[in-house]
Amino acid sequence: MLDIYVFDLDSSRAILPQIPSESLDTSTLRAICAATLEEKAVKFLVSAGEASGDMYASGVTAHLFRRYPDIHFYGCAGPRLQAAGVEPVIDSASLAVVGLAEVVTHLPRIYGEFRKLVQYAKQHRPDAALLTDNPDFHLRLARHLKRMDVPVFYLVAPQVWAWRQGRVKQIAKLVDKLYCLFPFEERWFRDRGVDATYIGHPLAYTVRTSVSREEFFERHGLPRDGQVVVLLPGSRPGEVGRHMPELIGAVRLLRKRFAFSVILATPKGFRTGTGFEKFREPIAALSIKIVENETWDCIGHADAALAASGTVTIEAAVLGTPMVTFYKVMPLSWYAGRHLVKVPFLSMVNLVADRKIVPELIQHDMTSENIAEAAAALLDGGPQAGQMRKDLASVRALLTVEGDPFLRVADSITENLRLPRTERTREHDIRETISNDAPF
């Protein structure tokens, strides 16, 4: 007779005593352990729909993992969440689409992924959920979670203060706790019945260069005393396709006036992706250096950045790099959405500052000529670049509060859920109680 004890963590008593060893094999023992782990483990749904959300959610998840190593995290995960130990029911790359018209063409696939995640959540009901950004996807998901009586924590407040403000009623009904990255958001949401907290912007704490300017220039063969312009067309294939022609045209125009090096900062794997082939020849003809997976160094050591509106503009602000911002969507998306926007600026840098400190070239204004003119004012040795650096320093200060934002979120979730701490994993406890003679 082999005594096998699988402990119930609530009662500290064995719940499967004295099972005859001759009736068990390795697969049966593993099944017993897995079933008990599934029944007893705290389950946490984590969902992030794009690269920035994947980074933010992984920061919170890492803190929770350290405190509660037995939690089973699963959901919509990108590479950072997966590296942090989150089981990817669906991959966040499948949701990375921007623009009304662009989303329509991908709706069947996105809806299929949505149904897959909802079905998994119903089969493995989570004890709580952390949803990050992507309100069109996540507010629908939150509705299903609330029907299951699952507490919903929401990281990165949906920008309903900018457009479609009626959605704030949904947020108040579906979200238990909202974590805001921008200082003006907390008051806006609280005034409308949402339990919102400003945590500071994670990028204000995490963005930094990893090497000195001299090391960076040497690594990439850049002239030591030369100026550098970094191109940041966006991380999505559609953004690259819409923005690169105008950026290439702007570089041609600027080269007539200035001697400078150009870096195209991209995610890892850009050269092998479909978006690169279309621009291979002009990139080579203009001696544009492609640097993959070193975005913060590229921005931090550049004299000017030409940046697609989005997270990267906050990164440039934190690093203090003068910039020209731009964005272009498909014409149908522009005409359908332009009247819905209720804010004076489209760049988050200007919104945080509550005044225009960086140029915004949106849709029809995003031309090679306009980009080149705005960039020239940052490269000509005049006062504009220096003044912009001072203004960007004030933006960074506004985005900074005391303490790690990810830790603040983890503390809040811990306080709200009152999860019991565990010193060892459940799997470790279970395996340790099985006789050494078992065929494991």
Predicted pLDDT at 386: 97
Within a domain: 335: yes
Of 170, 93, 185, 100, the closest CA to residue 139 belongs to 170
CATH number at residue 385: 3.40.50.2000
Mean pLDDT of the chain: 85
Of 428, 420, 419, the closest CA to residue 33 belongs to 428
Same domain, 300 and 408: no
Arithmetic mean of pLDDT, 40-60: 90
Number of domains in the chain: 2
Within a domain: 5: no
Same domain, 367 and 410: no
What's the CA angle centered on 322, arms 375 and 373, to 5 degrees?
10
Instruction: Let me know: does 152 contact 146? Beta carbons within 8 Å.
Output: yes
- For residues 301 and 214, what is the distance between their CA atoms, to the nearest angstrom? 9
Helix 100-123, helix 135-147: angle, nearest 10: 30
Within a domain: 432: no
Within a domain: 153: yes
Exposed e or buried b for every residue in 249-259, given b needs 16+ CB within 10 A? Answer: bbbeebeeeee
Arithmetic mean of pLDDT, 169-174: 97
Same domain, 219 and 166: no
Instruction: Let me know: does 34 contact 117? Beta carbons within 8 Å.
Output: no
Predicted pLDDT at 108: 73
Predicted pLDDT at 327: 95
Same domain, 252 and 361: yes
- For residues 276 and 240, what is the distance between their CA atoms, to the nearest angstrom? 9
Segment 33-38 long-range contacts (CB within 8 Å, at least 24 positions apart): 33/6, 33/427, 33/430, 33/431, 36/6, 36/426, 36/430, 37/72, 37/426, 37/427, 37/430, 38/72, 38/124
pLDDT band, very low/low/confident/very high, at 437 (cuts 50, 70, 90): very low
Same domain, 230 and 178: no
Model confidence pLDDT, tens digit, residues 193-245: 999 999 999 999 999 999 999 999 999 999 989 999 999 999 888 899 999 99
Predicted pLDDT at 99: 45
Same domain, 86 and 192: yes
Same domain, 286 and 188: no
Predicted pLDDT at 216: 97
With a cut of 50, say whether residue 14 has pLDDT above it: no
Predicted pLDDT at 436: 34
Same domain, 408 and 392: no
Predicted pLDDT at 427: 38
Model confidence pLDDT, tens digit, residues 175-184: 999 999 999 9
Same domain, 348 and 245: yes
Strand order in the sheet with 360-362: 289-292, 260-266, 227-232, 304-308, 323-327, 360-362
Looking at 141-150, 248-257, 267-276, 311-320, which range is the least confident one? 267-276
Predicted pLDDT at 422: 53
- For residues 161 and 164, what is the distance between their CA atoms, to the nearest angstrom? 8
Same domain, 55 and 196: yes
Within a domain: 284: yes
Within a domain: 294: yes
Arithmetic mean of pLDDT, 345-371: 96
What's the one-letter identity of residue 138? Answer: H
Arithmetic mean of pLDDT, 328-354: 82
Arithmetic mean of pLDDT, 132-143: 94
Within a domain: 431: no
Same domain, 157 and 285: no
pTM of the model: 0.78
pLDDT band, very low/low/confident/very high, at 26 (cuts 50, 70, 90): very low
Structural domain for 103, as ranges: 43-200+401-418
Within a domain: 4: no
pLDDT band, very low/low/confident/very high, at 34 (cuts 50, 70, 90): very low
Same domain, 87 and 136: yes
Helix 368-379, helix 237-255: angle, nearest 10: 60
Of 406 and 49, the one with more pLDDT: 406
